[in-house]
Structure 1
Amino acid sequence: MSIAIDRVTRIMNTLVKSLSHMGISAFGAQELVVRGRVSGKEFSTPVNPVTVDGCTYLVAPRGQTQWVRNARHHGEVAMRLGRTRTPYDITEVCGVDAVPVMRHYLRKWAWEVGRFFPEGVTARSTDAELEAIIPAHPVFRITRQAA
């Protein structure tokens, strides 16, 4: 990844997080909050949730990142928009079950995150091509925790 892309990514993440703190969802983006595996400290990052067949999902376009490892470890995350913080249980979706989610995600968000996926992989890729990239770009179903 080039320095220019890193700079653009940092700027975009800062912008989306700032908007989220003000209660504004840029194109549906929200702020994901996860606890660190060792420190227990909260970390946040912008994410682009998608809804497929009535369920909400998160895709990790940048791969096996810290938020992915932390979410797997704790089995829960929170989504924040403005002052509203909503806790969710998180379940990884693998293989063929994740293909429709990945296809929808790429259809909706490729303009922003397409550069993080292997060249040639798009929403129009075959099911087998999408299934092949899912281990490197995990998919999670999030379910709102009971109050």
Structure 2
Amino acid sequence: MSTTSHVKKPGWFTVNVLNRLVAFLARRGVSIKGSRVLAVRGRKSGDWRTTPVNLLTVDGNDYLVAPRGHVQWTHNMRAAGGGELRLGGKVEPFTAEEVPDDEKPALLRAYLKRWKAEVGVFFKGVGPDSPDADLRRVAPDHPVFRITRS
């Protein structure tokens, strides 16, 4: 597993319009293609931090992928070891285990198949049809967590 510093910060429109819209809908129980609100305790403050995420399910297992890289929620997840997925009034506590880089290519491929239009720009030209070698090359830049509902 890598903890490299790759981060692609969201722009104003994403922060102030898209993320707020997806979070607003998720709080009201509306999921867009698997979206949820992720809540994780801050590693320094201990306060709940929230962000919209896409929940990926592969072979019956659930995963959270960080398309923008090693962002705040990934650091908090490593420290907390889990969090909550929220959709409407439903709150699902979970534990999280970070997936090693060598296990990521199939998961990144599945993630890109589903959400490439939304997140493809963050994967340096790698897409769902790219060779495994390309997916392995970008794997260290994109944390992936296997989640288990508590």
Could you say whether these structures have the same fold, taking a TM-score greater than 0.5 normalized by the shorter chain as the test? yes
SS at match of 1:62: coil
Which structure 2 residues correspond to residues 116-135 of structure 1 after superposition, within 5 A?
116-118=122-124, 120-135=125-140
SS at match of 1:63: coil
TM-aligned CA deviation for residue 95 of structure 1: 2.2
Aligned to 2:58: 52
Which structure 2 residues correspond to residues 1-147 of structure 1 after superposition, within 5 A?
6-10=11-15, 11-118=17-124, 120-145=125-150
Q: Hey, what's the Cα distance between the residues in 2 that align with 1:131 and 1:81?
A: 32
Q: Hey, what's the Cα distance between the residues in 1 that align with 2:128 and 2:32?
A: 22
Question: What is the TM-score of this pair, normalised by structure 1?
Answer: 0.91
Percent identity at matched positions?
Answer: 46
TM-aligned CA deviation for residue 7 of structure 1: 2.7
TM-aligned CA deviation for residue 27 of structure 1: 1.8
Count of matched residue positions in the alignment of Structure 1 and Structure 2: 140
Q: Hey, what's the Cα distance between the residues in 2 that align with 1:88 and 1:135?
A: 23
Q: Which runs of 5+ in 2 are unaligned?
A: 1-9
Q: Hey, what's the Cα distance between the residues in 1 that align with 2:136 and 2:103?
A: 9
TM-aligned CA deviation for residue 45 of structure 1: 0.4
Q: Which has the higher helix share?
A: 1
SS at match of 1:123: coil
Q: Which runs of 5+ in 1 are unaligned?
A: none
TM-aligned CA deviation for residue 39 of structure 1: 0.5
TM-aligned CA deviation for residue 113 of structure 1: 0.9
**Which consecutive aligned stretches of 4+ in structure 1 deviate over 6 angstroms post-superposition?**
none
SS at match of 1:16: helix
Question: What is the TM-score of this pair, normalised by structure 2?
Answer: 0.90
**Alignment root-mean-square deviation, CA:** 1.1
